Chains A and B, each alone.
Chain A
């Protein structure tokens, strides 16, 4: 099973888990399995069935946008990463 690394901001929706193993032959299937396990992640990653434009998914060091997107095939030893857009530790009001 491939591993998906969850960035800190999203761990609130994975019960704190940082590396999650998921089945699936493509990036899209792996992400579907991920949000199946952790339904609250869905709205943060997807809008309808499309990945949100600010969500960056990498396999190893490659951006899936420059591969075949959600159709990109993956193997069991692949490491997927969700790269968050972060700006700083600004205090909340």
Chain B
């Protein structure tokens, strides 16, 4: 595929020296390096995928790099977000990333968009003359938004996605092949695997996938090699296997199958049924939103356990989280098991006594907790659908994180 643009910028002698390992390769050469300097790439997210992307694209000499993020660096980011560091915990991710990028290469320019990407701002941000957009987000609503906005504006979208030990890579460029929606017309609904499966990611995985995204971006800009248009690479770190599958353009695709001017950005949080980011007002909407669920504090839980009250405290986190921390005296049943049991009972496939719910008494007061209080509220909603009394169930506010803060400061937080 030919390069995306025919702009060239002059290189100083220092720059020729800096990029000498590029320039001596005929596939790049002086012309290619001058082209990279005149190129622009927009990164959505400066997290796990965004870290290697920003570092390597800066080092490679992409002249103008845009960053979209709204978050601050958190200590738990450092397991994988290698552009940040202990010295920037608490600082804006944009500022932290910019400082590191310009330290690596002061000859580039960094443009910062300090806002969550939304349907309201996406077209404005994307229209700032970007040759390539790279999707480094961590959630479905933003992925659909990035795709639709790129299709509308005719910008290639270098897609990378990660989950635990698996990664996916593709280039969605509707002018030359399929888009994200041709492959994934709609997201899995919340509550169904994979969307509700255990979270987490091998810290190295975004490094693997992010550097491959950077490779694809550079290939598109230079017009060399075979871009991953119409193909998806599937990576499994545990097997150390790579497989490429073919993607096809869907002529009936609701986005790339219609005229770009007819593409309208929608409410992607509504579409996906989940929030796009932590600051989203949608965060409060979930399975339990319509119910008036009672709450207790971690102090109430401690008092009940200490006094031996006739209360059952249930921990609905996943088993691997119990290895990190538990409150003694709790009954442990993961939320997905409660959900499966509820579905089985409602679908007429299981009787109550054949499910994990048989261990949860219907006549006692129940206190449910998870990590911070969302999954336990959902679990209360599920239980109320299969005969448990909503007035006897209480959600533990703040979950085990609040317990660690207020009751047991020695408990690790995660």
Give bound CA distance, A83 to B187, whole Å: 13
B243 in contact (CB, < 8 A): yes
Contact bitstring A39-63, B, C-beta under 8 A = 1, else 0: 0100110000000111010100111
> Least Cβ distance of B288 to chain A in Å?
12
**B163/A12 in contact, CB under 8 A:** no
Interface residue total, chain B, C-beta cutoff 8 A: 48
A-B contact count (CB 8 A): 116
Q: Which residues of A contact B185 (CB under 8 A)?
A: 53-54
**A8/B166 in contact, CB under 8 A:** yes
Contact bitstring A52-93, B, C-beta under 8 A = 1, else 0: 111010100111001000000000000001011111111111
**A44/B166 in contact, CB under 8 A:** no
Contact among A40, A43, A54 for B187, CB-based, below 8 A: A54
**B201/A88 in contact, CB under 8 A:** yes
**A61/B244 in contact, CB under 8 A:** yes
Q: A7-B166, A87-B138, A88-B138 are in contact. Are A44 and B371 (CB under 8 A)?
A: no
Give bound CA distance, A59 to B165, whole Å: 22
Query: From residue 14 to 58 of chain A, which have CB atoms closer than 8 A to chain B?
Result: 18, 40, 43-44, 52-54, 56, 58
**A88/B244 in contact, CB under 8 A:** no
**A54/B184 in contact, CB under 8 A:** yes
Contact bitstring B146-190, A, C-beta under 8 A = 1, else 0: 000000000000000111111010000000000000011111100
**A90/B199 in contact, CB under 8 A:** yes
> Least Cβ distance of B188 to chain A in Å?
5
Q: A58-B245, A62-B246, A63-B247 are in contact. Are A91 and B193 (CB under 8 A)?
A: no
Q: Which residues of A contact B375 (CB under 8 A)?
A: 92-93
Q: Which residues of A contact B (CB under 8 A)?
A: 7-10, 12-13, 18, 40, 43-44, 52-54, 56, 58, 61-63, 66, 81, 83-93
**6 interchain pairs, CB-CB under 8 A:** A9-B164, A43-B192, A53-B185, A85-B194, A87-B138, A87-B140
